[in-house]
Amino acid sequence: MLEIRELAASIGDKPILKGIDLTVPDGEVHAIMGPNGSGKSTLGYVLSGRDEYAVTGGSATFNGVDLLDMEPEQRAAAGVFLAFQAPIELPGVNNANFLRTALNAIRRAHGESELDAVQFLKMARVATKQLAMPDDMLKRNVNVGFSGGEKKRNEVLQMAILRPKLAILDETDSGLDIDALKIVADGVNALRGPAFSALVITHHQRLLDHLIPNRVHVLAHGRIVRSGGPELAKELEKSGYAGLIAEAA
């Protein structure tokens, strides 16, 4: 279970998160919606440990352990995964080697044996097939020369292989066509179960048609201004954020 209490964070002198309260029980998928600049991506970065952001108050625990006290790699080993809004290119780093190194690092942290190249490729090929990705994406350099859609699918592939307990998807749906969107949603749905939860940051209702959330939260000016069931996303699609933010202010 993810428990966030009065979380405040800033970049430089600029406060971005101004007291977030949010609980995501095991097995649930929660959507975070809100206008640009409301702090959605910052929330994802702060939870996964990017050090450009300074936490100025509050707490975030995952299954009882303090996330904010851990290095990014420790958070990953604890089961946290951030699907990046703009996945990073790694020229000179082979995608399959990258994925295997990450998986083995996490397995090592759990005291499990490492997978050799053959065992890994067998597993990775099953995952690429499920995500309708061509095999050669494993051979290419990480995200280099990938289209926007391929980069997003590569994030979902990493998630499928690393099998996190808490996935944070930062606008993974943006730039995807309807078919790709459905593949991405299926990728997340495949992981759903009692020991998996997700925070889905999105601008659009359409992802939530395929990936039905338990709760929807609206973030504005660094605070959650409203929470509700899946119907809230549909309401926002019709009426926009303006009325809601004015009401909260």
Residue 52's Cβ-count burial label (10 Å; 0-12, 13-18, 19+) is: exposed
CA distance 30 to 23: 9
Amino acid at 140: R
β-pairing verdict for 80-83 and 166-170? parallel
CA distance 132 to 191: 17
Candidate residues 106, 166, 216, 225; the one interacting with another protein per rule CB under 8 A: 106
Candidate residues 77, 115, 121, 248; the one interacting with another protein per rule CB under 8 A: 77
Determine if 71 is a binding residue for another protein (CB under 8 A): yes
Shorter beta-carbon distance to another protein: residue 75 or 152:
75
The contact mask relative to another protein for 144-183 (x = CB under 8 A, - = no) is --------------x---x---------------------
Determine if 88 is a binding residue for another protein (CB under 8 A): yes
Candidate residues 82, 199, 200, 224; the one interacting with another protein per rule CB under 8 A: 82
> Cα torsion at 11, 13, 14, 18 (round to 10°)?
90
The window from 93-101, 124-132, 210-218, 224-232 that contacts another protein (CB under 8 A) reads 93-101
The window from 33-41, 72-80, 204-212, 229-237 that contacts another protein (CB under 8 A) reads 72-80
Residue 233 sits at the vertex; the CA angle it makes with 230 and 235, to the nearest 5 degrees, is: 110
Residue 208 sits at the vertex; the CA angle it makes with 85 and 10, to the nearest 5 degrees, is: 40
Shorter beta-carbon distance to another protein: residue 164 or 213:
164
Pick from 243, 160, 177, 207: nearest CA to 32: 207
Residues making contact with another protein (CB under 8 A): 48-52, 71-73, 75-77, 81-82, 84, 87-88, 90-93, 98, 101-103, 105-106, 109, 158, 162
